[in-house]
Chains A and B, each alone.
Chain A
Amino acid sequence: MKYSAARILWEGLTGHKGWKPVWRDPAPRPHYDIVIIGGGGHGLATAHYLAKVYGQRKIAVLEKGWIGGGNVGRNTTIIRSNYLLDGNEPFYEFSLKLWEGLEQDLNYNAMVSQRGIMNLIHSDAQRDAFRRRGNAMILNGADAELLTTEQVRNEAPFLNFENARFPIKGALMQRRGGTVRHDAVAWGFARSADSHGVDIIQNCEVTGFKIENGRVKGVETSRGFIGAGKVGVAVAGNSSKVMAMAGMRLPIESHVLQAFVSEGLKPIIPGVITFGAGHFYVSQSDKGGLVFGGDIDGYNSYAQRGNSPVVEDVAEGGMALMPIIGRARLLRMWGGIMDMSMDGSPFIDRTHIEGLYFNGGWSYGGFKATPASGHAFAHLLATDTPHDTAKAYRLDRFQSGAMIDEKGAGAQPNLH
């Protein structure tokens, strides 16, 4: 079924009787060519690109709960490609380009909204670092602008320019950055994958791998054994647990990242603003809620909830940056589990087990990566070679010292 304004008009006039389920609810088949574990954004995107771009058939996505219930459904919806390092920037720029054509590709409006992202500058050293980054972005074909204080004031006059502990000295702006309606990403990819014949199987938890002679043969699940030619794992928040079933230890720790939304307010914030000096970033949704967050709580956790100190820390950052929000109220806080890698950058790689592929370690950067991650993982699964933009995301990079450490924080996941 094609979605369009005309269709809405027709259904509106005929009692909305024609709308069909957005994806089917099939029973698992005994064998698939490719099984994707994880019905989140990345898994669903992988299935979509496998089917649509790489012409693969007989694909299943196995989801232990309901699709889109992981981090794609609990993030702060930001997309951007303002990365510094060679290993990252081409990949995230590829992702941003995919976002830009996503809705037409999927025939689903995920409300990709490029209202810009502004990283504020508070010191000369920070400007130097952002200049290096902005140049890296441009050299990789992305857009970047270095704004003066006055230009920042024009974009966001309500920021604290007068009485700030960290005066605003400019910003690195990426106008193509923005936000996306996060749940719709999962639904849109699911709808498209489904329409290309992918079986999306919910309430199907993988409980083990069948590995023979170093080759994966399929997966044990709560709904029985499912044979597979290849298995791709894309289970953010559960990577270590799932890969442990294949006997692997990963350079990953799982941490909780909290996010927050305020009550609905008349729009004030044009795009995304990040306040690195104060551990705070904010945007405003199309419903009017201020969506904001800060640092991860900082300790290993698989509980999708955080604690009060970070809530207060984020609020302090928010008030320091935008004292106009003192009387706005925080409506809801939630937590997502981040698979924080040892350098803060992800993995899209084969494993030492033939036919088993891993996609994970997205740290807190997974949402914006969704289309490129799906595309690159599909490429790897279909061709057994890494996608051009994802070559650096190797599992063995710490052996050689080829870390992709944007923050320079070292092998301590909670600092990335």
Chain B
Amino acid sequence: MLINHPLLGPRDAQEFTYLGDASLLNRPDGMAGGAAQAFHDYLYLRDNPTGEHRELWYHEQGDRSWLIVTRNVSTHEILKVELASDVALSQGAKP
């Protein structure tokens, strides 16, 4: 596969390490009430869709960026690639 890195252009997927669903960005607050259930759902449950999937890839053999790749997991077609830090910031990571 080729991942079109937002800064570097197309790079072979072999340079990347895969983590999983991009919902891992949405880490619950560990100090809030109901954290136990929230963390269970956050860490263990997955939509695991057959179509478009937003997922985390780490450019380990490259610029060390974490990316969010939107990919159709049935066709492997990649629809969008973003820097995870941009997405996290725009989602309003903790102040």
- Chain A interface residues toward B at CB < 8 A: 240-241, 244, 249-254, 298-303, 307, 309, 342, 398-399, 411-414
Contact = CB atoms under 8 A, between A and B. Distances in A.
A311 B16 CA distance: 16
B5 interface: no
B8 interface: no
A307 B1 contact: yes
Interface string B1-29: 10000000000111001111100000000
B75 interface: yes
Given A299-B55, A300-B73, A254 B48 contact: yes
Contact of B55 (A249, A300, A303): A300
Nearest to B15: A309
B76 interface: yes
Contacts of A249: 45-48
Contacts of B45: 249-251
A244 B46 CA distance: 11
B75 to A, nearest CB: 7
B58 to A, nearest CB: 12
Contacts of B20: 253, 300, 412-414
B18 A299 contact: yes
A303 B73 contact: yes
Given A250-B48, A412-B19, 15 more contacts: A240-B50, A249-B48, A251-B46, A252-B48, A298-B17, A299-B1, A299-B71, A302-B74, A303-B73, A309-B12, A309-B13, A309-B14, A342-B43, A398-B43, A411-B44
A302 B73 contact: yes
8 contacts: A240-B48, A249-B48, A250-B45, A254-B73, A299-B73, A300-B20, A412-B19, A414-B18
B88 to A, nearest CB: 19
Nearest to A248: B45
By Cβ-Cβ distance, the 6 closest A-B pairs, closest first, are A240-B48, A309-B14, A251-B44, A398-B44, A249-B45, A302-B74
A412 B71 CA distance: 19
B94 interface: no
Instruction: Tell which of A241, A299, A342 has the most Cβ of chain B within 10 Å.
Output: A299
A413 B19 CA distance: 9
Given A301-B73, A302-B73, A307-B1, A253 B46 contact: yes
A414 to B, nearest CB: 6
B83 to A, nearest CB: 19
Contacts of A252: 46, 48
Given A240-B47, A241-B50, A249-B45, A303 B74 contact: yes
A411 B48 CA distance: 14
B93 to A, nearest CB: 21
Contacts of A411: 43-44
A250 B46 contact: yes
Nearest to B42: A411
Contacts of B19: 412
Nearest to B55: A300
Contacts of A251: 44-46
A307 B46 contact: no
B53 interface: yes
Instruction: Tell which of B12, B14, B55 has the most Cβ of chain A within 10 Å.
Output: B14
Given A303-B75, A399-B40, A298 B18 contact: yes
Contacts of B55: 299-300
A300 B76 CA distance: 9
Given A252-B48, A298-B18, A300-B53, A307 B40 contact: no
A303 B53 CA distance: 13
Contacts of B47: 240, 244, 249
Given A309-B14, A413-B20, A301 B76 contact: yes
Given A299-B55, A302-B73, A302-B74, A307 B44 contact: no
Instruction: Tell which of A298, A300, A303, A309 has the most Cβ of chain B within 10 Å.
Output: A300
A307 B13 contact: yes
A301 B12 CA distance: 17
A411 B45 CA distance: 10
Contacts of A299: 1, 13, 18, 55, 57, 71, 73
A65 to B, nearest CB: 16
B82 to A, nearest CB: 17
A104 to B, nearest CB: 39
